Amino acid sequence: MQPINKIMKFEQVGSPLVTFALIAYKQEEFIREAVNAALAQEYQPLEIILSDDCSPDRTFEIMKEIVAEYSGPHHVRLNRNISNMGGIRHVFLLASMSNAEYFVLAAGDDISKPSRTAELVRMFEAPNVLGVCSGYDVIDENSVVVQKNCLAPNKNRMGDYFKLEKNKTFQVIQGSTSAYRKEIFFNLASIDAGYAEDNLLNFYIYANGGVVEQTSSSLVLYRQHANAVHHKVKILRSASDSEKQSYEDSQDGAKKIEAFKAILKFSSSTSLVNRGELEKDLKRYKIVCAWPLLNIFERICSIFGEIFLHKSYFLKWQAARIFGKFPKYQPKMLLEDVREKLGAKYEKL
């Protein structure tokens, strides 16, 4: 790690100190816009940490050039990791470097609007609000807005892992627009997880009786492009590609559930967690991961086990995969393959 400090004096008068952590990796095309947006934040007092995850391109050099010319009001710290840590470990490192009460995250290819930090900090008024996020506009590689006023959903599969009161909902946190009370990072550094940090933090917050709040204001220009690190669009060319992706996703899913279970060891509100739903998903992920290693007899036994246990939601998948690792069984994908191969002839069938 090569820390460089550009220290600007500030006085904390009334408002809490906030860390704005910008994480970059191989983003030399976009990092200038991202850094300038960080330095343009209207909130004070603000500690800005600009950190590069050992990029092989000019990402870090561009950061240094901008910081050397900066003479604004914010306290700026520049960091470069000596080796690539990966997203979630990089986030935990910067949280440990933070001196603030609140921790705002930004990606090196996105653009934060000047009011972003101030608007997010205002949302932490209630003590049980441990994480916040905002709306966002999607931009392309040329910074052209292609979709406006997007929001994270207030329900996904993770919401089923919690026993929430009838008047409460589970809010999915949108990682690229997120901010957190820094205290929630203290118990998470030991968790070994190879996926986006927002999933882990989302689970931790609700497992500890906290909530996530979202504002509909679009505070981030969220960039989608071919080389994006955290939000790459996966294009599947065939049904077998889709099967392989499903297998890899199940491997990641199993690791995620194991990490969630590890969080419960030091959570304060474990009674809120529906452990049965966690175990159900873990079992399904493990079946998918183990399937290529099973012989036909073991696969048939697994199918009969599903029948006797009345778990028919998984029976169709298993029955289609008695033979082979990744048989072409996904009707929608197969139909797309046929349409692509036959072209205009398909319409006449």
pLDDT of residue 280: 87
Query: Model-level pTM?
Result: 0.81
**Residue at which a domain ends, from 157, 192, 223:** 223
pLDDT for residue 195 is more than 50: yes
Residues 86 and 214 in one domain: yes
pLDDT of residue 11: 43
Residue 259 placed within a domain:
yes
Are 239 and 326 in contact by the 8 Å Cβ rule? The answer is no
Residue 147 placed within a domain:
yes
pLDDT for residue 304 is more than 90: no
What gap in Å lies between CA 232 and CA 105, rounded to an integer? Answer: 18
DSSP annotation of 17: P
Residues 165 and 276 in one domain: no
pLDDT of residue 96: 93
Residues 257 and 133 in one domain: no
Residues 252 and 200 in one domain: no
**Residue at which a domain ends, from 175, 195, 223:** 223
**Residue at which a domain ends, from 223, 258, 287:** 223
Residues 157 and 267 in one domain: no
Residues 20 and 130 in one domain: yes
Residues 218 and 248 in one domain: no
Residues 262 and 191 in one domain: no
How much is the average pLDDT of 210-238? 77
Residues 215 and 255 in one domain: no
pLDDT of residue 29: 95
pLDDT for residue 332 is more than 50: no
- What type of residue sits at position 116? R
How much is the average pLDDT of 194-218? 89
Are 87 and 230 in contact by the 8 Å Cβ rule? The answer is yes
- CATH number, position 203: 3.90.550.10
Burial of 266 per CB tally in 10 Å (0-12, 13-18, 19+): middle
pLDDT of residue 114: 98
What gap in Å lies between CA 92 and CA 87, rounded to an integer? Answer: 9
The SS3 call for residue 324 is coil
Are 109 and 87 in contact by the 8 Å Cβ rule? The answer is no
Identify the domain containing residue 252 by its residue range. Answer: 239-348
pLDDT for residue 104 is more than 50: yes
Number of domains in the chain: 2
Residues 54 and 112 in one domain: yes
pLDDT digits (tens, 9 = 90+) for 275-293: 999 998 898 888 888 877 7
pLDDT digits (tens, 9 = 90+) for 262-273: 888 877 777 889
Residue 228 placed within a domain:
no
Burial of 200 per CB tally in 10 Å (0-12, 13-18, 19+): buried
Residue 232 placed within a domain:
no
Residue 234 placed within a domain:
no
Residues 179 and 245 in one domain: no
What gap in Å lies between CA 199 and CA 260, rounded to an integer? Answer: 9
